[in-house]
C-alpha cells in the first residue's frame, strides 16, 4: 500500500498542489475537513476519507463523488496516496492513523493544507473565539453578490450556497482562522478580523493570557500594510497591545462603539434594521438583515467594512444583506408556526449561549422560551460550568441532555449534571436524548431553542414534527 515517499509528497506540495491526484482525509466529516475535501474534489482530485459517523454532510460528500467509509479499517485505505489530511479531532489510537503515520505517506494537518492553498492568493482570515462562521459567511455572500471572484472555506453551511465551500473564482480567498491547536498560525492574510477573545480551548492554551499571546502571533503574520479589524469590546489593554504591531492598520468595530460601528434601529420578526458608519465617512442608513442579536450585527459590521475596503458599493452591500438567507445551525429557524417557533443554534460557549438567548428574547420578548442544551467537551464543561449555568438561567425553562465528548476521554465527575446542579432556575431537568421527544410531547411548548455543537441537530426533524 503506501508506496509514495514523504519526499515525493512534499515536492508535489511545494511546487504545485494542483498536481495531487489522490488525497485521503482522516475525519472527512468535520466542517473544516469537508470544505477542503470539496476543494480538491472540485479540481478533479480523487478524494477518499474516513469518519466514525455517517451524517447528512458525509452523505453529501459521497453524492459529490467522494469515497467515504465509517469503520476503522486499514484495508480500506487506497494505495498510491499523494497526501493524507488529518484533523487533531481524531483519536491517535485509530488504527488507520497509526498505519498512515508510520507508512511513509505525506501527512499534513488540515490547517497546514489550508495555509498552503491560501498562500498563493490574496486572502481574508476571520478569527475569534465566536462569530467566525457568521462573519465569513456574510462576507462571502457580499463578495459573491458583488461579482468579486472569491473562494471560501467556511465553518458552517450558508443557506444561499448549501455548502461550506464556495468556489466563484480566485481573486480572494475567505477562510475561518481556527484558534484550536494554534491552527491559524499557518495563515498569512491580507485582511483579518478578530471578533472576540473570550477564554476557550483551555485544554490547549492553559489560560486566557496564553491564548491571547497566540492571537497576537497570528496578527503579526498579517501581510505588511494589511488591515486588522478588532471588536471594540475585546478590552482596551488587548487593543493597546495589538495596536503596537507595525505590519498593519488596526480598526476597531462594534455596536454603538468603535471606529466602525452600527446601531440598531428595530428588530421585528427576526429582521434587524440598522445604520452603519465607518472611518472613511460612509453612512449607510436603514440596512436590513434577517439575523437578530447584537453579536450578529457586530459580525455583520466587520463584513461590511471589509466590503468597503474592497470597493464594494453601498447598493451591492444593501442588496447582499437583504438576500442573505442565514446559516444552518446559526440561529436557524427550523419551524415557524402560528403558535410555536423552533430555533437551532450551534452555541457551545457560555458567551455564545448568552448571545443566542438574548437574540431569541429580542425576537419574542413576551413569550416563554424553553432551551435544550447539549454540553460540548468535558474540558469546556469543567472550565466554564458556572458560566454555563448563569447563561442558561436566562431562559424560562431548560432541559439538558447528555454531554457530547467529541475528541475527549471522560473526566471523572464531569457531566451535564455539573452545570445543572449550579443553575438557580427552578424549571430545569436532565433528560436522556432518547427520551427527549416523548418528554417534549408532554409539555405546552411556545418558543423552543436547541443549543450546542454536538449532534442534537440530528433530532431537529423529530422536534419540528411535534410542533404546530
| Alpha-carbon separation of residue 440 from 234, 303, 370 (angstroms) | 39, 38, 10
DSSP letter for each residue of 192-257: EEE-------HHHHSSHHHHHHHHHHHHHTSPTTEEEEEEGGG-HHHHHHHHT-SSEEEEEEEES-
Nearest one of 264, 269, 334, 344 to 300, comparing CA atoms: 264
Residue 352 CA to residue 333 CA, distance in Å, equals 17
- Phi, psi angles (nearest 5°) of residue 218: -60, -45
Nearest one of 91, 110, 132 to 36, comparing CA atoms: 110
What domains does the chain contain, in order, with CATH numbers?
A: 6-110 (3.40.50.720), 121-323 (3.40.1190.10), 332-465 (3.90.190.20)
**Arithmetic mean of pLDDT over the chain:** 91
Nearest one of 165, 195, 393, 206 to 303, comparing CA atoms: 195
Do 40 and 85 meet the contact criterion of CB atoms below 8 Å apart? no
**What residues contact residue 293 under an 8 Å CB cut-off, 6+ apart?**
272, 331, 355, 356, 358, 359, 362
- The pTM (predicted TM-score) of the whole model is 0.86
> Burial letters for 321-338: b for 16+ Cβ neighbours within 10 Å, e otherwise?
beebebbbbbbbebbeee
Query: Using one digit for the tens of pLDDT, what is the confidence trace for 319-351?
Result: 999 999 999 988 899 999 888 999 999 998 998
Q: How many CB atoms lie within 10 A of CB 225?
A: 9
Query: Using one digit for the tens of pLDDT, what is the confidence trace for 223-278?
Result: 999 999 999 999 898 899 998 999 999 999 999 999 999 999 998 878 999 999 99
Mean pLDDT of 428-442: 96
Q: For residue 181, is pLDDT > 80?
A: no
Q: In DSSP terms, which residues pair with 267 in a beta bridge?
A: 272
Q: How many CB atoms lie within 10 A of CB 101?
A: 15
| pLDDT on residue 11 | 46
Residue 234 CA to residue 276 CA, distance in Å, equals 20
Q: How many CB atoms lie within 10 A of CB 118?
A: 23
Element (H, E) at 22: strand 22-26
Angle formed by the axes of helices 294-309 and 350-363, nearest 10°: 100
Nearest one of 449, 153, 462, 179 to 330, comparing CA atoms: 449
Q: For residue 404, is pLDDT > 80?
A: yes
Alpha carbon 440 to its chain's center: 29
| Alpha-carbon separation of residue 383 from 86, 120, 290, 414, 432 (angstroms) | 27, 39, 34, 10, 23
Mean pLDDT of 430-445: 95
Amino acid at each position: 500500500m503506501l508506496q509514495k515517499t514523504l519526499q515525493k509528497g512534499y515536492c508535489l506540495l511545494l511546487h504545485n498542489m494542483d498536481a495531487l491526484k489522490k488525497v485521503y482525509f482522516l475525519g472527512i466529516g468535520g466542517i473544516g475537513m469537508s470544505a477542503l475535501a470539496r476543494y480538491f474534489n472540485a479540481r478533479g482530485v480523487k478524494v477518499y476519507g474516513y469518519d466514525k459517523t455517517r451524517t447528512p454532510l458525509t452523505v453529501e460528500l459521497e453524492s459529490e463523488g467522494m469515497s467515504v467509509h465509517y469503520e476503522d479499517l486499514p484495508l480500506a485505505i487506497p494505495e498510491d496516496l499523494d497526501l493524507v489530511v488529518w484533523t487533531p479531532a481524531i483519536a491517535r489510537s485509530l488504527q488507520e492513523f497509526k498505519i498512515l503515520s508510520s507508512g511513509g505517506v505525506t501527512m499534513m494537518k488540515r490547517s497546514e493544507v489550508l495555509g498552503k492553498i491560501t498562500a498563493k492568493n490574496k486572502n481574508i482570515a476571520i478569527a475569534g473565539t465566536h462569530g467566525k462562521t457568521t462573519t465569513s459567511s456574510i462576507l462571502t455572500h457580499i463578495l459573491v453578490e458583488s461579482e468579486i471572484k472569491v473562494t471560501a472555506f467556511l465553518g458552517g453551511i450558508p443557506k444561499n450556497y448549501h455548502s461550506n465551500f464556495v468556489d466563484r473564482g480566485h481573486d480572494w480567498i475567505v477562510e475561518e482562522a481556527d484558534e484550536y491547536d494554534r491552527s491559524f498560525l499557518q495563515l498569512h492574510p491580507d485582511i483579518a478580523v478578530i471578533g472576540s477573545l473570550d477564554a476557550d480551548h483551555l485544554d490547549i492554551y492553559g489560560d486566557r493570557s496564553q491564548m491571547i499571546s497566540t492571537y497576537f502571533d497570528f496578527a503579526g503574520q498579517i501581510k505588511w500594510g494589511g488591515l486588522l479589524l478588532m471588536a471594540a469590546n475585546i478590552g482596551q489593554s488587548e487593543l493597546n497591545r495589538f495596536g503596537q504591531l507595525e505590519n498593519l492598520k488596526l480598526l476597531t468595530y462594534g455596536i454603538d462603539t468603535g471606529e466602525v460601528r452600527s446601531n440598531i434601529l428595530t428588530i421585528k420578526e427576526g429582521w434587524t434594521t440598522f445604520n452603519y458608519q465607518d472611518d472613511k465617512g460612509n453612512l449607510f442608513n436603514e440596512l436590513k438583515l434577517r439575523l437578530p442579536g447584537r453579536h450578529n450585527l457586530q459580525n455583520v459590521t466587520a463584513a461590511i467594512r471589509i466590503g468597503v475596503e474592497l470597493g464594494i458599493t453601498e447598493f451591492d452591500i444593501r442588496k447582499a444583506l437583504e438576500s442573505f438567507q442565514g446559516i444552518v445551525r446559526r440561529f436557524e429557524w427550523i419551524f415557524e408556526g402560528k403558535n410555536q417557533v423552533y430555533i437551532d443554534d450551534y452555541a457551545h460557549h457560555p458567551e455564545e449561549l448568552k448571545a443566542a438567548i438574548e437574540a431569541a428574547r429580542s425576537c419574542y420578548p413576551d413569550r416563554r422560551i424553553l432551551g435544550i442544551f447539549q454540553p460540548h467537551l468535558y474540558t469546556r464543561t469543567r472550565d466554564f460550568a458556572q458560566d454555563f449555568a448563569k447563561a442558561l438561567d436566562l431562559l424560562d425553562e431548560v432541559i439538558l441532555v447528555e454531554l457530547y465528548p467529541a475528541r475527549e476521554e471522560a473526566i471523572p465527575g464531569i457531566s451535564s449534571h455539573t452545570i445543572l446542579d449550579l443553575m438557580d432556575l427552578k424549571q430545569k431537568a436532565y433528560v436522556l436524548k432518547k427520551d427527549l421527544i416523548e418528554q417534549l410531547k408532554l409539555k405546552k411548548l411556545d418558543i423552543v431553542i436547541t443549543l450546542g455543537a454536538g449532534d442534537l441537530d440530528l433530532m431537529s426533524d423529530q422536534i419540528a414534527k411535534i410542533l404546530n
